[in-house]
Structure 1
Amino acid sequence: TTRMEGIQRMAAVPADVARLFRRSIQHDGILLNLSEDKVKFDIYVIMNPNVNIMETSRALQAAVVEAIDTMVGIPVDAVNIHVEDVVYSQE
């Protein structure tokens, strides 16, 4: 996702959220929950300034759905984007 314009980097999954979803798969700012025949993603990101957060989040959602459909073929139930911070340069 760091290759997607507007996203600075992945954020850590908050510890309290990670504890709630112990059965979920966690990796580099992504919580993946597979239930029955569907998959749900919670993606934690840090964005660049001066981007439209809504548009960037929707583009990321669409990219995740397309990638999972192409690579795995499992229906995606939800892709929730959590913007944890916006990083401004230290000028």
Structure 2
Amino acid sequence: MNGLTTEKDISKTTISPEVLHKITRLTTLSVQGVCRLAPAAGGLKQIFNREDNQGAKVLIKDDKVYVDVYVVLISDMNVRDISREIQERVSRAITEIVGLSVGAVNIHIMDIDFNA
């Protein structure tokens, strides 16, 4: 598991990237205007393991979290406002729940659902 490990005295806490992925997915889906998550671009891994990269990619580098979120939005909503809301909520959730700094939250709008 390639996660972030913090040590204090003799204790150690390891945070799995899957935890950050789940926080990102659930937080994104709670934003009004998000129809659903879209598969992250990923070639063969996407074909054989859809659950692993559904909706988000998370990278931990230099004690910071970098997130790419892939979404399908509902039509008749302001795309820029929804994107900013996702960025703010995901960044806040990761910081508050896990206590890590967020380097970036990038939003990739993969489609707009006009039937939702």
Give the TM-score of the pair, scaled to structure 1: 0.83
The reply on whether 1:60 has 2:83 as its aligned counterpart is: no
* Partner amino acid, structure 1, of 2:113: V
Q: Percent identity?
A: 33
Q: CA RMSD for the aligned pairs?
A: 1.8
Written as runs of structure 1 = structure 2, the 5 A alignment for 1:1-91 is 1-16=28-43, 26-89=52-115
Structure with the largest fraction of helix: 2
User: 2:29 and 2:108 mapped to 1: Cα distance?
Assistant: 15
Q: How far is 1:14 from its partner?
A: 1.6
Any gaps of 5 or more consecutive residues in structure 2?
Answer: 1-27, 47-51
Matched AA of 1:4: V
Residue 8 of structure 1 aligns with an amino acid whose one-letter code is C
Consecutive unaligned residues of structure 1, counting only runs of 5 or more, are: 20-25
Cα displacement (A) at 1:40? 0.1
Give the residue type in structure 2 aligned to 1:72.
Answer: V
Taking the aligned partners of 1:3 and 1:81, their CA distance within structure 2 comes to: 15
The structure with the larger Rg is: 2
Distance 1:6 1:48 in 2: 5
Spell out, residue by residue over 1:17-57, the C-alpha distance to the aligned partner (whole angstroms, 9 max, x if none): x78xxxxxx54210000012101000000000011000000
The structure showing larger relative contact order (alpha-carbon pairs under 8 Å, at least 6 residues apart) is: 1
TM-score relative to the length of structure 2: 0.66
